[in-house]
Amino acid sequence: MIDPSIRQNAEEKMKKTRESLVRNFATIRTGRATTSVLDRITAEAYGSMMPINQLATIGVPEARMLTIHPFDKKNLGAIEKAIQKSDLGINPVNDGSMIRLVFPPLNEERRKDLAKQAKKLAEEAKVSMRNVRREAIDAFKRLKDASEDEVKKAQDDIQKLLDKSIDEVGKILAAKEKEIMEV
C-alpha cells in the first residue's frame, strides 16, 4: 500500500519552491520601481541587521523612483550604506530626512545580466524540485508493504508532478524575462 502523504508532501514542497521563486523574482529589478527590490537588503540598526522595510516606510511616488522615510532618522546613514553595498546598482540620494532611489532605464547589457540572474534562480528551483522527487521516490522504495507495480505507478505519478511543476517554473521565468527585456 502506497502512503498518499508522500505525494502530498512532495507536492507541497514543490509548491513552496515555486512560491519562493516568485518572491525571489520580485527582488530582481526591472525598468520600474517596486518596493520589493529592497526586501532582501538589510541595514545595521539597534545592534543587529534588519530589513529596510522594518526600518522605514517605502513609497513609490513615480514609476522610476522610490522614497525611503526612516522611522528613526538615526538609521538614515545605515540604510544609505546598505543600499550602496547591495547589488541594486543604484546610488541613493540622502537629503537629511529621507532617501530617494532613482531607477535609470536599464541598458541592454544590464537587462541581459538580470535575465541570466532570473535563469539561475529558475534553475535552482528546478534542482530543488528534482531533489524533492528523489526524496519521494526513495520514500516509496523504502515502503515494506507496497508491490513493485505500486511503487512504479507512484514513481510515475511523482515524475508527472515534477514535469508539471517544472513547466510552471518555465512559464514564470518566461514572464519575468519578458518583463526584464521590456523597454
98 and 112: one domain? Answer: no
Question: Same domain, yes or no, for 122 and 79?
Answer: no
| Structural domains of the chain, count | 2
Cα–Cα dist 128/64, whole Å: 34
Cell of 177: 524575462
Whether 119 and 92 map to the same domain: the answer is no
CATH number of residue 136's parent domain: 1.10.132.20
% of the chain with per-residue pLDDT over 90: 59
Query: pLDDT for 89-134, tens place per residue?
Result: 788 999 989 999 988 887 888 888 889 999 999 999 999 999 999 9
96 and 112 assigned to the same domain: no
Domain identity same for 57 and 75:
yes
Secondary structure in 3-state letters for 96-165: CCCEEEECCCCCHHHHHHHHHHHHHHHHHHHHHHHHHHHHHHHHHHHCCCCCHHHHHHHHHHHHHHHHHH
CATH of the domain at 87: 3.30.1360.40
- Predicted pLDDT at 26: 83
Q: Which domain holds residue 172?
A: 4-26+107-181
**DSSP state at residue 63:** T
In the predicted structure, residue 1 carries a pLDDT above the cut 70 = no
159 contacts: CB under 8 Å, gap ≥ 6: 133
Length of the chain: 183
- 68 shares a domain with 115: no
Does residue 78 share a domain with residue 42? Answer: yes
Note whether 89 and 130 are same-domain residues. Answer: no
Q: pLDDT tens digits for 123-145?
A: 999 999 999 999 999 998 888 88
Other beta carbons less than 10 A from residue 8's beta carbon: 10
Mind listing the pLDDT tens digit for each residue in 139-183? 988 888 888 888 899 899 999 999 999 999 999 999 999 988 876
Helix (H) or strand (E) holding 70: strand 65-70
Among 65, 81, 102, the domain boundary falls at: 102
Please tell me whether residues 85 and 138 are part of one structural domain.
Answer: no
Which pLDDT score is estimated for 164?
95
On whether both 86 and 114 belong to a single domain, the answer is no
My answer on whether 96 and 51 are in the same domain is yes
Please identify, among 102, 132, 149, the residue that sits at the C-terminal boundary of a domain: 102
Within this chain, do residues 20 and 43 fall inside the same structural domain, yes or no?
no
What average pLDDT does this structure show over 45-59? 92
pTM (global) more than 0.85: no
